Amino acid sequence: MRDQTTHPVAAFWRTLTLAARNLTRNRRRTGITLLGLLLGVAASLVLQAFVAGIFSLLGGIVVQGRTGAIQVHRVGHLQADQDALRFTLPLDAAFMARLAKFPGVKAVTPRLSFEATIGNGSQSTLALVTAIDPATEDAVCPARYANLIGRPIAKGEVAMAVLGLKLADGLRAKNDDDLQLLASGVSGQPNLLDVKLIGKVPAATEIDARRMVITTLAQAQALVQMPGRVTEFAIALQRDDQADEVRDALQAELGHDYQVVSWLDLLPQVRSMRLLLRSVLKVVVGVLLLLLVAAVANTMLMSVLERTREIGTMLALGMKREAIGRLLLAEASVLGALGTLLGMGVGLFIVHLLYTHGVTFRPPGADVPATMHPDVDMVSVAITVAIAFVGTVLAGVGPAKRAAKLSPAECLRAV
C-alpha cells in the first residue's frame, strides 16, 4: 500500500498548514494585510450594492409610478412635438388581450397623454395630462398614487383630477375645488373641461410635481375630441429586469406599424447615467483591488527578504526549489482566501443591514424623501471575491519565483 505521507492530498494539506503557521510569525504585518483585504472587498460589495439600490429605487419610481415597464405607441408619436395627437391608436379590446397574452407580460392599460392648460379661474399654467383607465391602471402602476393627499380616481368616476403637489399648491387649489382643463384636439379647436380636484400627489421629480395632471380616459377623449383613441398602451412585466428582451420580442411580433419602447428608452438620460455609473464603479473597484494586490505582493516580498537565511537552510538540507515556491504561493493563497472570505462576510453583513433598514434621502426636486434598499446579487459577489483571491495569488507568484531562484550559499551569507 502507498505510504499515506506521500499522498498528494496529505502533502497539499501539510503545505497549507505550514503556510498558515508561517503567516503567524509576523502577526502585525499579516493582520494589517488581512484588514486591507477585508476592507477592500467589503467596500467593493457595498459600493456595488449602493449603485444597484439607486437604480432599483429609480426603476421602481418610474416603472411602478409613472410609465410602466414597456409602452406601445403608433410609429411617429414619440418623435412628434406639436402634432403628437395625430399619431394615436384605437382603443381595441382584442389588441389589449393580444398584448396581455404575450410571454412575460403581466398587465396592460390604455392611456391618452397630451399637453393642456389648467386653471382655477384666475390663473392658469401648462400641464402634462395623463388620462388613465382606473379599472386597469393600478395593475400596471401600483405606486402611481404613492403618498397621495386625498383619494385616487375610482372606476366609473368622471370629471375628476389628481394633480402634482406643487402644481396644486401653485394654483392654490384644495381638494374638492373646481378647476378647468383647456386643450386642443387634432382639429385645433380648443375645448374646456371642468374637473374636480380630489387628490394631490407628492412627486419624485420636479416636472411631475409642477406639471402632472391625472384624469380619466373617457373625459380626456371628449376634451381632445378623440373618442375611442389612445396614445399608448402601458405594460407591466412579470420581471422588470427583462424589459429590453420583452420589448424586442414584442416589437418583432407587432411589426413596423408600432413602436415598442422600454422605460429606459423613454428616459435615455437614465440609461446613460446607469452605463456611466457602472463604468465608474468598475474602475473604482478595479483600482481598489489592484491596490490590495500590490499590498499583498509587498507583504510576500518582505517575507522572502526576512527569511532569506531560512530559505537557504531549507535549500541546503535538500528541499527542492519547486517546494519553496509552492510554500510561498500557498502563503499568498491562504492570506488571499482568508482576507476575501472575511471581506465578503463583512460586506454582505453591511449590505444586509442597509437593505433591511433602508437609506432614506430626498432626491433633487422631490416632494417627499425616498428610501433606497442597497442590494448586491450573488454573481457580483462571486466575481468580486474571485478577482480579489486570484489577484492575491498572482501577487505571490513574483516573490515565490524570487525565493525559488535563491542560491543556498548566498542565502547563508546574508545578514
Q: What is the pLDDT of residues 271-310, one digit of tens each?
A: 787 788 888 878 887 787 787 778 777 777 777 766 667 7
Antiparallel, parallel or unpaired: β 89-90 and 258-262: unpaired
Lowest-confidence region among 19-28, 71-80, 249-258: 19-28
Give the residue with greater pLDDT, 115 vs 325: 115
Residue 217 is placed in which grid cell? 380616459
Distances (CA, A) of 341 to 151, 300, 381, 385: 51, 19, 11, 8
Cα–Cα distance list, 229 to 28, 186, 321 (Å) = 74, 12, 82
Contact (CB, 8 A) for 18 and 331: no
Is residue 282 within 8 Å of residue 387, measured between CB atoms? Answer: no
Mean pLDDT of 230-239: 94
Kindly tell me if the per-residue pLDDT of 206 is higher than 60. Answer: yes
Only one residue has cell 526549489, namely 321
197 touches 168 (CB < 8 A): yes
- Left, alpha or beta for 155 (phi > 0: left; psi -120 to 50: alpha)? beta
273/367: higher pLDDT: 273
Total residue length of the chain? 415
Domain ranges of the chain: 4-61+271-413, 76-255
Please give the Cα distance from 291 to 303 (Å, whole number). Answer: 18
Supply the mean pLDDT for the chain: 84
pLDDT at res. 198: 94
The model carries a pTM of 0.75
Residue closest to 407 by CA, chosen among 302, 324, 300, 306: 324
Q: What is the pLDDT of residues 13-48, one digit of tens each?
A: 777 776 677 777 777 877 888 888 888 889 889 988
Alpha-carbon distance 223 to 209, whole Å? 23
CB 30 within 8 A of CB 234: no
> What is the pLDDT averaged over residues 322-331?
77
Q: How far is residue 163's CA from residue 367's CA, in Å, rounded to a whole number? A: 13
Predicted local confidence at residue 73, as pLDDT? 94
Instruction: Calculate mean pLDDT across residues 117-125.
Output: 89
Helix H segments across 157-307? Answer: 165-170, 206-211, 217-223, 243-254, 263-266, 268-306
CA distances from 323 to 6, 311, 327 (A): 14, 11, 6
Mean pLDDT to the nearest integer, 134-140 = 93
The four Cα atoms 193, 199, 201, 207 give a dihedral, to 10 degrees, of 20
